[in-house]
Structure 1
Amino acid sequence: MNCLLGVDLGTTNVKILAVTPHDWKIIAQTSLPLKTLSPQPDFAEQDPEAVWQAVRQGLSEVVIGAKRQQATISGVSFSAGMHSVLAVDATGKPLTHAVLWSDNRAEPQATELHTDQASLGDAIYAHTGTPIHPMIPLCKLAWFRENQPDLLTQAARFISLKEYVWWKLTARYDIDYSMATATGLFEAEKRTWYQPALDFAGIRPEQLSEPQPTTLAVTYNPDQEGVAKTALPSGVMLYPGASDGCLANLGAGCIEPGITTITIGTSGAVRQTVSKPQRDPHGRLFCYYLDERNKTPYYVVGGPTNNGANVLQWLAEKLTQQETEAVLTEASTVSAGADDLLFLPYLHGERAPLWDASARGAYLNVDYRHTRAHFVRAALEGVMFNLLSIERLLAKQTGPTRKIYANGGFAQSTFWVQMMADIFGVPVRLNDSNESSAMGAILLISNVTTPLEKLADEVQFGQAFEPDAACHEHYQTVFDRWEAALQKR
């Protein structure tokens, strides 16, 4: 029996699945936690060696699980969180920790591209499809240029965590087109690094990895010099895969027009798959490469939010001091709209739709009748309203949403998912597996010539939620007031 592995390098966990492609069953899986370091305010880093060791341990666990099912591993594909960057020397040794997407140290450099060098910032967005924000490697490298200039000359390369893991397994410096488009340094349509962006960052093309197709196949050879030994069998095929957001769309079955994927984990994202690059006139939406099949390109366009289930975590730990399940139960005791109480959910700054790292949250219209349950419900609704505002931006580029495929940790709460259906006013379907990025990585390599629309047909679904018409009508009024409050912030 043949099986494929999907390795998802997330922010909080490394997750690995073993799936049999003839019936799409998960026969083995594991999840190992990752630690994020914050040595000073606005810094968010991870130790690349710790990430690698988690991958190595996870591969060992899943290989053992696959053997118990008498399965032979034929391929491994990778998904990873976008925007991380670290420096390595000529031997591949890390010179820095990996700076993560959530790191905001490069806010001054992002601001420069919005103000003093706005024309350059506009050109970079137009060519790369990556919104200008402290999260992107372009701005982080510019921060290194200004604050650690020696690093730019000492470093042999600047790579992501995914590239570091790939180098460990292959002794090659490759970056797939999908991850490259999230750097702010790469022109996906031309498949090349964008020189004006490199000039702003202060680096040379040879300090970056070689851009490659997402389905590049490399044979694992642990006897090759520089390749790390793992539990993987010699000869197994390795594929770089793509970014977690793009693969989450494929893994969710979201390829057709009018189908929108909404993921809410710690953070969140609203995405659609399109066949040609899209640009928002104001630079508020990303457009990342997914794959190309039979000369048909696939791009994923959308917007990410910093504020997803981490708002629920804040409610549980800081506001109510109770478990998240109890928080959700308490919110359900209040009617839709929280009796006019509104919440702007910007506890961690914001990416889409604001792209403002300095944005902060607020409760509005507070009066004597509001209880703790009102504050909880308003906060959960605020997360959804922010996602709706992103979807409305997206609809201007791709057309209206007919159906939502939802995944992420929030999907464990039927109350919160029903709220999504009621607020958006369209059916919401949950994926059978909540590991859509890892599943997408596996689907991507299951047949490298099959159109993605056909591969998406293999995705299994769980519960479906229909919107309540009366509740949706009420929410439309509440959202109009929420949006007006946002404009006045």
Structure 2
Amino acid sequence: MNCFVGVDVGTTNIKALAMPPDLSQILAHASAPVTTLNPEPGYAEQDPAEIWAAFVEVIAEVNREVAQGGHVITHVAFCTAMHSLLPMNDDGSPIGNAILWSDNRAEEQAKALRTTQAELGKSIYAQTGTPIHPMIPLCKLAWLRENDPRLLRRTARFGSIKEFLWHKLTGQFEVDFSIATATGLFNESKRAWSEPALNYAGVRADQLSTPVPTTFQRSYQPGSETAGTGLPAGVSLVIGASDGCLANLGAGAIKTGTATLTIGTSGAIRQTVRKPLRDAELRLFCYFLDEGYYVVGGPTNNGGNVLEWLTEKLTLQDTDAVLAEAATIAPGSDGLLFLPYLQGERAPLWDASARGGYLNVDWQHTRAHFVRAALEGVLFNLLSINELLIDHTGPARVIHANGGFAQSDLWVQMLADMAGVPVRLNASNESGSMGAILLTMKAIGMVKTLDEAAEKVAFGHTFQPDLNRHTVYRKEFVKWQEGQKMLYVDGGRTK
């Protein structure tokens, strides 16, 4: 039996999922971790050699499992994290490490495009749909131009982690429209690199990959470097899209009124729309998924990393113990509030220098209060992003939840209670890989539209909101917003 593989290249793990064309079962699954390096404060990098080794390991394992079951891989599609930047030679060999989305070294360059060069920043945002922030390659390249011009001159090619992997497999420098729209360098309406953005960044169009549709395919031909994957010649490689866009597709969140909320290490809330949207204050992204499908929303730096902080720094307990402790406290944490900006913030503040903190601390609050308030703060922040989204898309009638947090019934129920709408889980939590597989079905003509593809998504449990808890949370959310506004808008860093 033939099967499709969706590969999810994240910044924590590389994962792959194999399924038959009818999506009736998971035939194989594999995962391998990738280490993030922090050579200096604010830096976040990964070794491309480690990324490639993890990718080969994962594909080889899935290929073995599939073969043992008597199946054959016919298509491999890619879902990858956004905003990475890798300097390469003309043969695709890396010159240095990949700079990740979470790298904040370009804070001053991003600040300039929001202040002293605000008109240029607004013009670039209008073309690209990418908010101005240190995360985007546009600002990373500007940082190199100002701080490491020698590397800029030495580099023949700049690309993302996906482009590095794609070149290894195909020998071609190509990038899908979805990853391209997340660079801050791509004119989405013209489907070409933006001249103002290139001039600001200090690079030429011929140093970047050729943009192609997300359904673009190439036939795989094994070579000495790729033999370890075990993939046979002739497998169709589908270039795919970004992780945020494919998380929406893989969650079945394509129709109007359906939002997707993802919390992994970071987080995001998104809706799928039929035409590009722009926010007048540059607070929301709008990324390409497929012709007639765009994903609009806002990302947060602070999601599962807050839970990690609770376990490793605050309580010195494992995750299950921390979540159990949070469950002992009533919704609203007896007035204790938490601003979750432990690693700066993207939406809604777009302020890399923002930092977190507790508000309204008093004598009655215990460690368990601090734990619950932190979990609530992550969701309050995402719902504040959702309020910006509602102004453009209208309210969501249901939220599809995925990412690591979806494994915690407590945290997901908090979301339903706060939002006041049902929160639905997928049968599989691998929404990125699933989205890549569904995009493959569109690429090869098994379905005509992504709406038709999304109908094939299977769902698990739906969490219904408790209206009494919702009332409590609405009052606390107003207080949370007042605290956020006081510290970060009216008198704070983002003004």
Which bin holds the TM-score, normalised by the shorter protein? over 0.9
> Cα distance, 1:447 vs. partner?
3.1
Q: Distance in 2 between matches of 1:23 and 1:305?
A: 32
Q: Trace 1:259-270 onto structure 2 (pairs within 5 A).
A: 259-270=258-269
Alpha-carbon separation, structure 1, partners of 2:225 and 2:63: 22
Asked whether 1:163 is paired with 2:163, we answer yes
Name the CA distance, whole Å, in 2 between partners of 1:146 and 1:447: 43
Is 1:403 the counterpart of 2:401 in the alignment?
Answer: no
Select between 445-454 and 277-286 the one with higher mean Cα deviation. 445-454
The aligned residue for residue 192 of structure 1 is 192
CA distance in 2, matches of 1:2, 1:228: 21
User: What is the DSSP-based 3-state SS (H/G/I as helix, E as strand, rest coil) of the residue aligned with 1:256?
Assistant: coil
- Distance in 1 of aligned mates of 2:154 and 2:342: 37
Q: Deviations over 1:197-225 (max 9, x none)?
A: 000000000000000011111000125x9
Offset of residue 313 of structure 1: 1.0
Secondary structure of 1:447's aligned partner: helix
The answer as to whether partners of 2:267 and 2:301 remain within 8 angstroms in 1 is: yes
Match of 1:42 in 2: 42
Q: Report the 3-state secondary structure (helix = DSSP H, G, I; strand = E; otherwise coil) of the residue aligned with 1:388.
A: helix
Please tell me whether the aligned partners of residues 168 and 228 of structure 1 are also in contact (alpha carbons under 8 angstroms). no
- With over 3 angstroms needed to count, the CA separation of the structure-2 counterparts of 1:229 and 1:412, relative to structure 1, is closer
* 1:246-285 → structure 2 map (5 Å cutoff): 246-285=245-284
Contact between 2:345 and 2:353, CA under 8 Å: does it hold in 1?
Answer: yes
In the alignment, structure 1 residue 487 sits paired with structure 2 residue 482: no
SS at match of 1:6: strand
Provide the C-alpha distance between the structure 1 equivalents of 2:112 and 2:135, rounded to a whole number of angstroms: 14
AA paired with 1:35?
Answer: T
- Is the contact between residue 215 and residue 442 of structure 2 (CA under 8 Å) also seen in structure 1? no
| 1:75 counterpart SS class | strand
Q: Contact 1:256 / 1:453 at 8 angstroms: preserved in 2?
A: yes
Partner of 2:413: 418
Task: Tell me, in whole angstroms, the C-alpha distance in 1 between the residues paired with 2:163 and 2:28.
Answer: 25
Aligned counterparts, 1:80-229, within 5 A = 80-223=80-223
Residue 267 of structure 2 aligns to which amino acid in structure 1?
G
Amino acid paired to 2:191:
R
Aligned residue runs from structure 1 range 290-305, under 5 A: 290-292=289-291, 297-305=292-300
Equivalent residue number for residue 231 of structure 1: 230
Confirm or deny that 1:317 pairs with 2:312. Answer: yes
Deviation (angstroms), 1:23:
3.4
Q: Could you tell me which residue of structure 2 aligns to residue 6 of structure 1?
A: 6
Q: 1:174-201 CA deviation, whole Å, 9 max, x = no partner?
A: 0000000000000122101000000000
Alignment RMSD (CA, Å): 1.1
Q: Aligned AA for 2:460?
A: G
2:472 aligned partner, one-letter code: H
The one-character-per-residue Cα deviations of 1:311-342 (angstroms, maximum 9, x if unpaired) are 11111111111111111111111111111111
Q: Which residue of 2 aligns with 1:380?
A: 375
- Where does the alignment leave 5 or more consecutive residues of structure 2 unmatched? 488-495
Given the alignment of the two structures, is residue 326 of structure 1 paired with residue 321 of structure 2, yes or no? yes
From 459, 462, 471, the equivalent of 2:460 is 462
Note if 1:308 corresponds to 2:303: yes
Partner of 2:425: 430
Q: Which amino acid letter does the alignment assign opposite residue 400 of structure 2?
A: Y
SS of corresponding position for 2:103: coil
Report how many residues are paired: 484
Hey, what's the Cα distance between the residues in 2 that align with 1:90 and 1:256?
A: 42
8 Å Cα contact 1:222/1:229 also seen in 2: no
Instruction: Tell me the residue number matched to 2:493.
Output: none
Structure 1: distance between partners of 2:386 and 2:284: 10
Asked if structure 1 preserves the Cα contact closer than 8 Å seen for 2:261 and 2:270, the reply is: yes
Cα distance in structure 2, aligned partners of 1:322 and 1:153: 48
The answer as to whether partners of 2:7 and 2:436 remain within 8 angstroms in 1 is yes
Percent of residue pairs identical: 60
Look up the equivalent residue of 2:290 and give its one-letter code. Answer: D
Q: Is the 8 A contact 1:171 1:227 kept in 2?
A: no
Alpha-carbon shift at residue 152 of structure 1 (Å)? 2.0
SS for the counterpart of 2:229 is coil
Q: Secondary structure at the match of 1:102?
A: coil
> Residue 202 of structure 1 aligns to which amino acid in structure 2?
G
Paired residue type of 1:405: H
Aligned to 2:350: 355
CA distance in 1, matches of 2:472, 2:162: 45
**Structure 2 letter corresponding to 1:486:** Q
Q: Mean Cα displacement is larger for which, 307-316 or 199-208? A: 307-316
- CA contact 1:87–1:157 (8 Å) conserved in 2: yes
1:26 and 2:3 matched: no
TM-score by length of 1: 0.98
2:395 partner amino acid: P
2:450 paired residue number? 452
Which one-letter code corresponds to 2:346 in the other structure?
R
How high is the TM-score relative to the length of structure 2? 0.96
State the shift of 1:229 in Å.
5.9
Pair 1:24–1:281, CA change in 2 (3 A): farther
Q: Which amino acid aligns with 1:244?
A: D
Using the alignment, how far apart are the partners of 1:358 and 1:303 within structure 2? 18
**Whole-angstrom distance in 2 between the partners of 1:327 and 1:191:** 47
The residue type paired with residue 81 of structure 1 is A
- Give structure 1 stretches of 5+ with no counterpart: none
User: Does the CA contact (< 8 Å) of 1:171 and 1:226 recur in 2?
Assistant: no
